Amino acid sequence: MDIRPQFDLVIENGTLLDPASGRHGRFDLAVAGERIVAVEPNLSTRPAAERIDASGQLVIPGMIDTHAHVYRHVTGRFGLDPDLVGVRSGVTTLVDQGGPSCMTIGGFRHYVSEPARTRTLCYISCYLVGGLEGHLYPDLYGPIGVNAEHTIRVAGENLDLVKGIKAHAEIGGQSRWGLEVIKIGKRISRETGLPLYIHLGQLWPTADSAPIPDADELIRELVPIMEPGDILAHPFTRHPGGFVSESGEIHPILLEAVRERGLKVDVGHGSHFSFDVARKVLEAGIEPFTLGADMHGYNVQIPDADGTGSDDVRKANPFFGVAPFNLTIAMTELLHLGLPLERVVAMVTSNAARLLRLEDELGSLAPGRIADVSVLKVESGRFKLSDNSGVEVVSDKLVRPVFCLRAGERFDADSPFIPAAIAA
C-alpha cells in the first residue's frame, strides 16, 4: 500500500472565506508543491506531510496590497522592505504605486521585485523621476519631467510587472501646471492599455506665485479626463482636493463617475485616512473597490539597527503625521465603519486581482491556483483606533495577520510594522 503523503500541507479547522468562489464556512485546504489541490469540508483522513490547525482563524486568498512603496534607496526613506510590508505582514502580493519610472524600472525589477519573497508588481510613474525621495521635490513633477513615448515603450516591455500608470492630481501641482501632467498620463494609459491611477488630496504646497487654488475646480477638471477602469485613490483623505468638497459635501461629479462611468476607488490609507470623511463618503454610497495600505517610510516607524525607530523625518514633515496602521488595521477600520467582512476581504483579494487583471491567477482559493493564502485572526474586544486627524474610536473587532503561504511557502507574520493592539 502506498502511504506516501498525498499533500504537502493541510490547513484545517479554519473558517475559509473566498469571495471569488462564494465559499464561506468550515473548510480544509490542501497544498501540493506551489498549488492548492483541494478545498473540502474535511481532509482529516487524507495523508499530509504537515498539518496546521487554524481553529478560530480566518483563511482567505493571499492578500493583495494595491498601494505600497517598496522601492528602497531610489525613493530614499520613502521605500520600505517589500517583505516586511508583504509576506511577513501576511500579504502575498504588493503593488508599488509610482516608485519606478521608465528610467528606473530595471533597478526595480532586479533589486526589488526579483529578490523579494513577496510578489512585487508596480504601477509605473508617468514622471521620469518616479517616486524619487518620496515626491518631496514638487518641481520635478511638471510636464517637462514626463516623456510619454519612453514611458509607453518601457511599460509595454515590462507588462509582467507594470499593471498601471501613476499620476498625481492635487492642488499644489495644479497651482504650477494645471492638469497637463494628468492629460499626458491619460495618453500613456490609453496607448499602453493600462489603467490610470490618480492620487487625490493635497501633496505639495501651493506655488508662491500662484493664487490660492480651487480644490473643487480641480475635481471638475479631472473627472472628464478619466475613463472607465481608471482609479481614484484616497477617497477618505483629510487633505483638500478629495471626494469631499470645500462645502463639506460629496462632489456630485465624483458620485456620477463612480456609479455611472465605471471609475474605481482605492482606499490608499497612508497619511490620509479620516473617520469623519470616510463616513461621509460611505454614506453617500461610494464604496472602495480595493484597499491599499499606502505604507511608506514617512508614515510608519522604521526599525533602526538597534531595534528602535526614528521619527526625525516625519517630525520635519507634518503632512505625514499618522496613527499606527497596516493593511489589517485598515481592514479593521472599514469593519468598524460598518462594511461587512465579506466585502472587506473581497477588497484585498478578488477585487484587487481583478484590478490587476490577474483574476485567473490570484484572488481565489480554488483548486489549481497558486497557493497564495493569508491566515488572519479576527479578535473580539475593545480596541482603540485613531486616524490621521487625531480622532479616536473604539472598535469591537481587530484583524491581525497570523501567517501566509506564498506559492506554498509559509511566512509567519512577524513584521515590526504590524501595530500592537491597544486595548480601550
Annotation: binding site: 67, 69, 166, 199, 234, 294
Cell numbers linked to 58: 480566518
CA–CA separation, 313 and 297 (whole Å): 9
280 closest CA partner among 258, 240, 249:
249
CA–CA separation, 375 and 353 (whole Å): 18
Q: Return the amino acid letter for 366.
A: A
C-alpha triplet 83, 84, 90: angle, nearest 5°: 80
320 closest CA partner among 164, 172, 136:
136
What backbone phi and psi angles, to 5 degrees, belong to 364?
-150, 155
Cell numbers linked to 173: 501641482
C-alpha triplet 269, 255, 249: angle, nearest 5°: 75
Beta strands in 329-387 (DSSP E): 373-386
CA–CA separation, 94 and 279 (whole Å): 27
Q: How far is CA 140 from the centre of its chain?
A: 25
Asked whether the beta carbons of 288 and 266 are under 8 A apart, the reply is yes
State the Rg of the chain over Cα: 21
Cell numbers linked to 95: 503593488
Based on DSSP, count helices (H) and strands (E) in the chain, helices before strands: 12, 15
HEC profile of 76-103: ECCCCCHHHHCHHHCEEEEEEECCCCCC
Cell numbers linked to 177: 501646471
Instruction: Extract the annotated binding site for Zn(2+).
Output: 67, 69, 166, 199, 234, 294
Q: Return the amino acid letter for 397.
A: K
CA–CA separation, 411 and 252 (whole Å): 45
Residue 90 backbone class (left: φ over 0; alpha: ψ -120 to 50; beta: rest): left
Q: How far is CA 128 from the centre of its chain?
A: 23
